[in-house]
């Protein structure tokens, strides 16, 4: 139990930290380039984990779910970084609470996990809390908020990464934590490469723009994403996907604070109220399962 608690705490802190690095890097580099390089660093590190990879013993299901997870992960993380380039961290972070909703739906369809009545009450609170977080320039909720590119990118990202979470659990079931982590990194890099190429940008120009400061930020991003994925996968073998994703939403409060501290974003009190309501919804899913 102690290792599970540690993993959850690490996951809660690592996610908003990685978002800060992602948003900072998009001020210097194209979002899809940031996505590619972060996956590339993690892939290089993962090679050492699979030097003795028993390819002959791995089932077809492992490859299938790894491929599907890689596609969802590359696209999802690309959308996350693109959203952070255009939107406020204190708004985009709390939207991630919907990921637990997507995870619950995907987990039911793919692996048959289903929450109880209190789980659905929690989902309702998550949606209500978003009313306070998603506001326009006048500080009021409006459906037009969903016309913003940053919001659209973030919603696309949470759908894809919510599905990926379930696929990751399937990968773990057909292998182990080490190979699941390496698969996440390597397949994510493989599919982020053609995604980067669709932007038709000059890769050499992007590489030349990397300074010592940017390198350190990339290392910080790769490290925070790496421990986030490792902690997430460990939690998945101990808990239902929907329950774990709901618990991870405690990071909402950290994200709102980071948005104010690092990027001077405003309207924090209202966003904290909304984030707290969404957090209560997430806790209901966990405590009354």
Residue 30's φ and ψ, nearest 5 degrees, are: -65, 140
The pLDDT tens digits of the residues spanning 231-272 come to 999 999 888 887 788 778 777 777 777 877 787 777 777 777
Question: What residues make up the domain containing 151?
Answer: 2-287
Higher pLDDT, 44 or 2: 44
Q: How many CB atoms lie within 10 A of CB 17?
A: 20
Q: How far apart are the C-alpha atoms of 226 and 127, rounded to whole Å?
A: 29
* Mean predicted confidence (pLDDT) in 81-88: 81
pTM, to two decimals: 0.79
Stretch 193-201: mean pLDDT:
81
pLDDT at 144: 64
Which residues, including other chains, have CB under 8 Å from residue 87's CB and lie 6 or more apart? 148, 150, 151, 153, 154
Question: 26: Cβ–Cβ under 8 A, 6 or more apart, which residues?
Answer: 34, 81, 84, 85
109 class by beta-carbon count within 10 Å (0-12 exposed, 13-18 middle, 19+ buried): exposed
Q: How far is CA 99 from CA 8, 39, 229, 248, in A?
A: 16, 21, 15, 10
The pLDDT value recorded for residue 139 is: 46
Residues 172-179: what's their mean pLDDT?
90
Total number of domains constituting the chain: 1
Alpha carbons 237 and 229: distance in angstroms, whole number: 13
* 173: nearest Cα among 48, 69, 50: 69
Do the Cβ atoms of 15 and 232 come closer than 8 Å?
no
Mean pLDDT of the chain: 83
Q: What is the mean pLDDT of residues 52-77?
A: 87
pLDDT-above-70 percentage for the chain:
90
Tokens of 259: 């948005």
H or E stretch covering 236 = helix 212-238
How far apart, in whole angstroms, are the C-alpha atoms of residue 194 and residue 198? Answer: 6
Question: CB under 8 Å to 61, separation ≥6 — which residues?
Answer: 170, 174
Please enumerate in sequence order all residues whose Cβ is within 8 A of that of 54, keeping only pairs 6 or more positions apart, or say none: none
Q: Which residues contact 88 (CB under 8 A, 6 or more apart)?
A: 150, 259, 263, 265
Return the sign of the alpha-carbon dihedral for residues 181, 183, 186, 189.
negative
pLDDT per position as a tens digit, 106-153: 888 888 887 777 777 877 777 777 666 655 444 455 566 677 888 888
CB count within 10 Å of CB 118 equals 14
């Amino acid at each position: 139990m102690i290792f599970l608690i540690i993993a959850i705490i690490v996951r809660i802190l690592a996610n908003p930290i990685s978002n800060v690095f992602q948003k900072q890097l998009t001020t210097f580099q194209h979002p899809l380039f940031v996505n590619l390089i972060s996956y590339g660093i993690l892939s290089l590190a993962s090679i050492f984990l699979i030097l003795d990879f028993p390819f002959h013993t791995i089932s077809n299901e492992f490859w299938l779910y790894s491929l599907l997870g890689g596609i969802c992960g590359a696209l999802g993380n690309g959308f996350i970084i693109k959203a952070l380039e255009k939107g406020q961290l204190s708004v985009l972070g709390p939207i991630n609470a919907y990921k637990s909703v997507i995870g619950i739906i995907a987990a039911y369809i793919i692996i048959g996990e289903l929450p109880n009545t209190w789980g659905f009450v929690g989902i309702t609170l998550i949606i209500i809390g978003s009313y306070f977080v998603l506001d326009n320039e006048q500080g009021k909720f409006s459906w037009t908020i969903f016309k913003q590119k940053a919001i659209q990118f973030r919603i696309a990202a949470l759908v894809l990464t919510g599905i990926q979470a379930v696929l990751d659990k399937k990968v773990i079931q057909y292998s182990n934590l080490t190979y699941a982590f390496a698969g996440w990194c390597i397949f994510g890099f493989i599919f982020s490469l053609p995604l980067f190429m669709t932007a038709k940008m000059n890769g050499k120009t992007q590489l030349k723009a990397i300074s010592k400061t940017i390198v350190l930020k990339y290392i910080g991003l790769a490290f925070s994403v790496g421990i986030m994925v490792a902690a997430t996968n460990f939690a998945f073998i101990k808990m239902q996907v929907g329950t774990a994703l709901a618990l991870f939403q405690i990071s909402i409060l950290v994200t709102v604070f980071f948005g104010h501290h690092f990027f001077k974003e405003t309207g924090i009190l209202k966003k904290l109220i909304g984030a707290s309501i969404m957090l209560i919804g997430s806790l209901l899913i966990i405590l009354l399962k």
